[in-house]
């Protein structure tokens, strides 16, 4: 498999990654998500990393488009990723998808949201995700609660808001604004 993107678990013992069957995008634009144990933590808190030649990854998604930018929630209970909402890997805006980290059915967060998601970060309450998304010629910041049907706008200015960072408590966001 050709690795496309990945994210670490909060305890640094697992990775979730997106991979496609070939390094040639023309061969297959579809990617799948996998979860891989890369180490274990002992009673002192030290991590012993395992040899990856013998590791086996668990597939989390199956044939539903191109999944990218997988990330664990801060508590490790959820995995989020970007993918086309209708399952076609080449058509439509990227939507934020969430699935239980142990496997299960993914769901689209805020399915009524029309923005083109460009980037996202979990807030440490494990319930909210801050996204940067384009609508028309503007790019704004939004908050999406894990089970919500819509997104809440955090910025409402003309221009592009990007390059954002969220404080650990989720109360303050710094971002770059271009007009």
Full DSSP string of 71-88: EE-TTSSEEEEEEETTS-
Q: Check if the beta carbon of residue 33 is closer than 8 Å to that of residue 83.
A: no
* pLDDT string in tens for the chain (179-residue length): 788 899 999 998 899 999 988 776 666 778 889 999 888 788 887 777 776 666 788 899 887 678 889 999 999 999 999 987 665 666 778 889 999 998 888 888 988 888 889 899 999 889 899 999 988 888 999 999 988 888 999 998 888 888 899 987 888 999 999 88
Q: Could you list the beta-strand ranges (E) of 21-157.
A: 32-37, 39-41, 47-49, 58-59, 68-72, 78-84, 94-100, 107-108, 116-122, 128-135, 138-145, 152-153
d(CA 156, CA 172): 16
Residues in Cβ contact with 94 at an 8 Å cutoff, skipping those fewer than 6 apart = 68, 82, 83, 84, 116, 117, 118
Query: If you search the block for the tokens 């049907």, which residue do you land on?
Result: 149
């Amino acid at each position: 498999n050709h690795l496309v993107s990945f994210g670490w678990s909060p305890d640094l013992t697992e990775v979730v990654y997106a991979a496609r069957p070939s390094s040639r995008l023309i061969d297959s634009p579809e990617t799948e998500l996998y979860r891989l144990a890369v180490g274990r933590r002992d009673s002192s808190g030290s991590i012993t990393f395992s040899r990856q030649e013998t590791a086996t990854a668990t597939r989390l998604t199956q044939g539903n488009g191109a999944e990218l930018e997988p990330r664990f929630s801060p508590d490790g209970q959820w995995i989020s990723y970007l993918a086309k909402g209708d399952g076609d890997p080449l058509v439509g805006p990227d939507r934020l998808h969430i699935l239980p980290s142990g496997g299960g059915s993914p769901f689209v967060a805020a399915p009524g949201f029309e923005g083109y998601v460009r980037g996202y970060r979990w807030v440490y309450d494990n319930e909210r995700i801050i996204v940067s998304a384009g609508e028309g010629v503007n790019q704004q910041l939004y908050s999406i609660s894990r089970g919500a049907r819509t997104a809440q706008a955090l910025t409402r200015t003309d221009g592009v808001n990007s390059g954002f960072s969220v404080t650990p408590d989720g109360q303050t966001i710094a971002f770059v604004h271009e007009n």
